[in-house]
Structure 1
Amino acid sequence: MRFTRDDRLLFIGDSVTAAGRDRDDPTSLGDGYVRMIAEALPSPATVVNKGVDGHRVHDLEARWATDVLALGPAVVTVLIGINDTWRRYDRGLLSPVAEFEACLDRVLTLTEEKCAARLFVMTPFLLPAGPEQETWFEDLTPRTDAVLHTATAHGATVVRTDLALPRAAEVHGAAALAPDGVHPSPLGHRVVARAWLAAAGVGVPSP
């Protein structure tokens, strides 16, 4: 896919996307995969990071009009889901998969209707840092299936971070990619960025 200077590529999600971005600076891209993608694009485009730490899918929906639709992006990339799972285990806050899927479907529908944007949907991922996180898959696996189902229904380009990171972990070890199982290291962010670039067909830089 080729981009022009007039194209706005918007990334929205939780702390994995935010990666330390300065929310008071609309040009801040953080230090993670969004910045790496912006630096690797072979053609000029405007890249916007709208990740917010701790957000779940309903939080994204609440700010979708201002953070996505109002900006008229040409491409919207969504990465959400791990906090919907995590909050079940650390705070007892449930995010039923059916409701999660319906919410994701609503924001993607709005984006198609209001922006006619090309959609990219990234799967949530987990590289368990300990035995207690292994149990999270009972919640995360059906949630990932819901993400895939919704993305397919909208004709979105799917970025399988849930496959790319485990493959990379076979080489580098899980802790080198996401020390706490959730938040990527610089190497982990590089794997995520490469997966997006490959899915977009814009070329993949060397590791």
Structure 2
Amino acid sequence: MKYALATLSLFVLMAFVPQNKKKVIFFGDSITQAGVQPGGYITRIDSMSRKEGKSDQFDFIGAGIGGNKVYDLYLRLEKDVLDKKPDIVLIYVGVNDVWHKQSLGTGTDADKFQNFYQALIDKITAAGAKIILVTPAAIGEKTDYTNQLDGDLNKYSGFIRDIAAKNNLPLVDLRKVFLEYNLKNNPSNKDRGILTSDMVHLNDMGNQLVAEQMWKAIQAVK
């Protein structure tokens, strides 16, 4: 009887031991920097986890800095990501690598982009964290492929798809998701206002769509 009571007491105690939360870091540029604001995609993911009773399973951390390209992420990887000992890292970069070619003349050439992207993966993997890759969503929302940077954005998104396949990593293909959404919901062929406020940064619906896609991917990580 005493043994049974002791076993029961131990079981009850163990039932109330708090679970170790998975630390999830969103690593990116200004889109991710805004993600922690009210209505931002990271804030929405946190709300989704609470609504589903999973807030005790995850800690969500934004590590976005405006204007960042893949090289910038590599330079601050240790301090802003690895030192925090994450369990899952979402790499969401690429817009500025393409956009800044036109706007500032400081974009990232194809070889450099792929090499630094792979270097990020190698370092994060070596630290023991799981990785989710994310394609850049949009630089303009026209559906007839007349956005000025559609060609480059599609090419760089293709690089990320190839890197995901090569490394056997999960992919949130926002480029594909945004194109499909706009084909259904942008009959006037507007360059903004459907999922973005300015052709790049997310509006309310854009944040919601990104949150839904990322939350699904995060939960699938084992």
Aligned to 1:24: none
Aligned to 2:216: 198
Give me the whole-angstrom Cα distance separating, in 2, the residues matched to 1:180 and 1:133: 16
How far did 1:199 drift?
2.7
Q: Secondary structure at the match of 1:93?
A: coil
How far did 1:37 drift?
1.0
Q: TM-score w.r.t. structure 2 length?
A: 0.79
Q: Secondary structure at the match of 1:11?
A: strand
Change (3 A) 1:91 1:153: same
Q: Secondary structure at the match of 2:140?
A: coil
Listed as ranges, the gaps of 5+ residues in structure 2 are 1-18, 187-191
Q: RMSD of the alignment, in Å?
A: 2.1
User: Is the contact made by 1:127 and 1:166 (CA closer than 8 Å) also made in structure 2?
Assistant: no
Q: Secondary structure at the match of 1:176?
A: coil
**Pairing 1:116-135 to 2, within 5 Å after superposition:** 116-126=128-138, 128=140, 134-135=147-148
Aligned to 1:25: none
Question: Considering only CA atoms, is the larger Rg found in Structure 1 or Structure 2?
Answer: 2
Q: Pick from 21, 38, 44 the counterpart of residue 36 of structure 1.
A: 44
Aligned to 1:12: 27
**Pairing 1:147-166 to 2, within 5 Å after superposition:** 147-166=160-179
Q: TM-score w.r.t. structure 1 length?
A: 0.84
Q: Secondary structure at the match of 2:99?
A: helix
Listed as ranges, the gaps of 5+ residues in structure 1 are 21-28, 203-207
Give me the whole-angstrom Cα distance separating, in 2, the residues matched to 1:142 and 1:167: 17
Give me the whole-angstrom Cα distance separating, in 1, the residues matched to 2:146 and 2:76: 29
> How many residues are aligned here?
190
Quick check: 141-150 or 130-139, which moved more? Answer: 130-139
